[in-house]
């Protein structure tokens, strides 16, 4: 288990510990930087604060991002943030898979099968077990989605056809 120092405290962290700490938690909105954990984009400070119990003021986004990438979690920067070419900023952000590679929205939705999602462009803003939770998250963080739907697991579920 890798040992790392954050805000003067030593922590033994591994990817499974990080993933387990995020179970049942909804990611906050991405402002600039993100890490991908369990196929979802997370603000690095939210993840590291949750795993370590530290106050977010005790470390920077870059420290959190560096600690999480050392554990193997892919990181990225949201489109439209500082340092991006204007043409990139005006296009929808790409979806990122568990390995941090670009993928289609359909592939990006795979981790959310059976959940309700709110989507803007090619970005999944939030995924939760009920539409009420999704709407509450959108209201809490003053976010607007282009669409909201339940991710089904097959063409049969969409059409209502019985399996053959």
Tens digits of per-residue pLDDT, 72-82? 999 999 875 54
- pLDDT above 70 (res 33): yes
- Do 100 and 75 meet the contact criterion of CB atoms below 8 Å apart? yes
Percentage of residues of the chain with pLDDT beyond 70: 78
DSSP for residue 28 = P
pLDDT of residue 2: 75
pLDDT of residue 104: 73
Q: Which residues pair with 76 in a beta bridge?
A: 34
pLDDT of residue 157: 61
Average pLDDT, the chain: 82
pLDDT (tens digit, 9 = 90+) per residue, 90-140?
223 344 444 445 567 777 788 889 999 999 887 888 999 999 999 999 999
Distance (Å, whole) CA 113 – CA 149: 11
Cα–Cα separations (whole angstroms), residue 17 to 24, 37, 71, 150, 163: 14, 11, 10, 28, 38
- Token pair of 134, please? 């999704």
Distance (Å, whole) CA 64 – CA 124: 22
- Do 41 and 30 meet the contact criterion of CB atoms below 8 Å apart? yes
Question: What φ, ψ does residue 126 adopt, rounded to 5°?
Answer: -155, 150
Distance (Å, whole) CA 138 – CA 130: 13
50-54 mean pLDDT: 95
Band of the pLDDT at 156, cuts 50, 70, 90? low
Distance (Å, whole) CA 1 – CA 65: 18
- pLDDT above 80 (res 84): no
């Amino acid at each position: 288990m890798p040992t790392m120092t954050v805000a003067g405290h030593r922590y033994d962290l591994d990817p499974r510990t990080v993933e387990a700490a995020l179970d049942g938690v909804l990611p906050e909105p991405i402002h600039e930087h993100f890490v991908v954990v369990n196929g979802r984009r997370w603000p690095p400070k939210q993840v590291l604060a949750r795993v370590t119990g530290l106050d977010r003021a005790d470390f920077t986004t870059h420290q959190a991002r560096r600690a999480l990438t050392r554990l193997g979690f892919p990181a990225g920067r949201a489109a439209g943030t500082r340092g991006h070419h204007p043409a990139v900023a005006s296009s929808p952000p790409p979806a990122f898979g568990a390995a941090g590679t670009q993928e289609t929205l359909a592939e990006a939705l795979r981790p959310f099968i059976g959940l309700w999602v709110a989507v803007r462009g090619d970005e999944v803003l939030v995924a939760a077990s009920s539409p009420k939770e999704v709407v509450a998250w959108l209201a809490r963080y003053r976010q607007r989605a282009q669409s909201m739907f339940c991710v089904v697991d097959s063409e049969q579920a969409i059409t209502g056809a019985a399996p053959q």
